[in-house]
Amino acid sequence: MRLRQFFTGVVGVAGVCLLGSLPAKASARLQAWQFDTGQNRLVFTTESGVEPQVSLSTNPHQLVIDLPGILSDDALGNQFIGGAVRAVRVIQANGSTTRMVLDLSPDYNLDPKQVKVWGLTNQQWVVQLPSSTQAPGVDKSFPNSTLTIPDFSKASTSRPLTTVGAEPLPPLIRRNQVSLAAVRATATVLGGVQATAEGFFIPTAGAAPQIQVYRTRDANQARQIVIDLLDAAIAPGLAAETLPQGRYGVHRWNLTQFATDPPAIRVTLTLDGYSPDWQITPLASGGIWLTPIGVAPSQITAPPATVALPVINAVAAPPPITRPAAPPGIATPAPSPAAGPGSTPRQPNLGQVLVMLDPGHGGVDPGAVGIGGLQEKGVVLAVAHYTAAALQAQGVAVQMTRQGDQTVELQPRAAQAEAARSTVFVSIHANAVDMQRQEVNGLETYYYSETGQVLAAALQQQVLSTMAMHDRGIRQARFFVLRHTSMPAALIEIGFVTGATDAPKLRDPQWQAQMGQAIAQGILNYLRSQPR
């Protein structure tokens, strides 16, 4: 995101009172934001949970997002956009509220009913604007509306999915950091961080790691675990994108190389409020285990995704925002089953389904090996984690046949899906041919049963509509995991590790995230199409 520091002073919204009664002091900060011009959406992340207050003003023509209890960071600055959204400004409205102002073009006639606001978590929010070429005129007869916010502190983890439209989920804003420095040869080399079913594993090469562990808090009182590795260096080329993102309540990973004598690495885990404490165990054979204390990793769950929120139509100054009491954890009610003709169709309760994701290969089995040594097992595991995160953000329960680089045979994969009574089973793989045929690229999806064919078609269609790939079609096949699973099952080959076009994409973490989100959307499309 390229920022331009060109606004000064504090700009308010004329005639609109948005803040109501606010806390006297804010401590958490707006951590990151970006405006995606291609998708016409704003995504922002805060250091703690926030209840956004969103309103549309016609004089001046602005969309205003207030974040009570959040401080702005001057380093985030402002951004000139151009087009329908001329600029985004971040200002401190008062001592306890950050205000994000989207200056809109006078020609951009925005209907507040076409603006969608939803939370991926209570710390990461999306404001989706309609296309400027499709935005209808403003209906000035809209009554002022009241913004109802779910109570995250009491929200039920079984909250059903609320449909927010067919758009693909936005990519997560990356928060991890890796700071490298030139150092002499060291006894130990840190290779990264891996999320596993047991917690986290930090692989090291060379001598057994010498560590010191501290527990502290950052400036915003967020809990941190600091692990110092002595006589150690970060492996060259290790990127922040390869570190786990939002797993098991670890909000952020920071890996910093110090050119001391001897060189040292500081690994800092910043924990979310729901994260447990962690036990740090160095291994004589190399590597460090991080395991949660008092709870299984599978039981560490993030706050559920929020319901979609309305936008206040502030043609006239609205009254102060109120929050009517509502039963904790209750989302927007679904239409009654007895709704008459012309009413909104009843959506299936996707909170009652379970998706089993199967990242192919793993452990001693690398799967296909392609250009530059690219291994299938690592690519598909990363994509599966992104798929899981996108589904869970929409309130869908997910299990994975492997969480890390483990060896899992075919029969246990199918057995796990059967034992869990999964609603659908999706196996994720990458393809390969002879290394001399690098012109072979593209997407394939396989099925065995008739119900699997419908799922495979939904996946193939969604991925092709989202990603620029060659369509190699859907095909029937007798793969073990498809024949030995009774629920609708599909196996998707997300590209060729041997392909000149596909291999660089398969290696790219951003592309992996987009593929994971596309697969998740394909699964959602299938689930919504099925009678329940």
Backbone φ/ψ region at 218: left (φ over 0), alpha (ψ -120 to 50), beta:
beta
Q: Whose structure tokens read 């398969």?
A: 506
Query: What tokens appear for 298 in the block?
Result: 């599978």
How many Cα atoms occupy the beta-carbon half-sphere of 117 within 13 Å?
22
Query: What tokens appear for 132 in the block?
Result: 């400027």
418 counts as catalytic? no
Residues 6+ apart with CB under 8 A from 132: 40, 83, 84, 105, 108
Q: Minimal CA–CA distance to 104: which of 122, 127, 87, 121?
A: 87
Dihedral sign from CA coordinates of 478, 479, 482, 484: positive
Q: DSSP assignment of 397-423, as one string?
A: EEEES-SSS----HHHHHHHHHHTT-S
- Distances in Å between the Cα of 44 and the Cα atoms of 29, 120, 194, 213 are 11, 10, 26, 32
Query: What tokens appear for 520 in the block?
Result: 């998740």
Contact call for residues 405 and 377 (beta carbons, < 8 A): yes
Contact call for residues 60 and 102 (beta carbons, < 8 A): no
Which of 47, 376, 444, 493 is catalytic? The answer is: 493
- Distances in Å between the Cα of 466 and the Cα atoms of 386, 456, 461, 463, 521 are 15, 16, 9, 5, 10
Contact call for residues 461 and 443 (beta carbons, < 8 A): no
Could you give the CA distance from residue 93 to residue 7 in angstroms, rounded to a whole number? 14
The distance from CA 264 to its chain's CA centroid, rounded to whole angstroms, is 31
Could you give the CA distance from residue 30 to residue 50 in angstroms, rounded to a whole number? 10
Identity at 486, one-letter amino acid code: S
Q: Whose structure tokens read 């998708």?
A: 39
Contact call for residues 278 and 199 (beta carbons, < 8 A): yes
Residues 6+ apart with CB under 8 A from 530: 348
Could you give the CA distance from residue 215 to residue 269 in angstroms, rounded to a whole number? 10
Could you give the CA distance from residue 377 to residue 417 in angstroms, rounded to a whole number? 20
Q: What strands, in cross-sheet order, belong to the sheet with 204-206?
A: 204-206, 188-190, 232-234
Q: What are the residue numbers of the active site?
A: 493
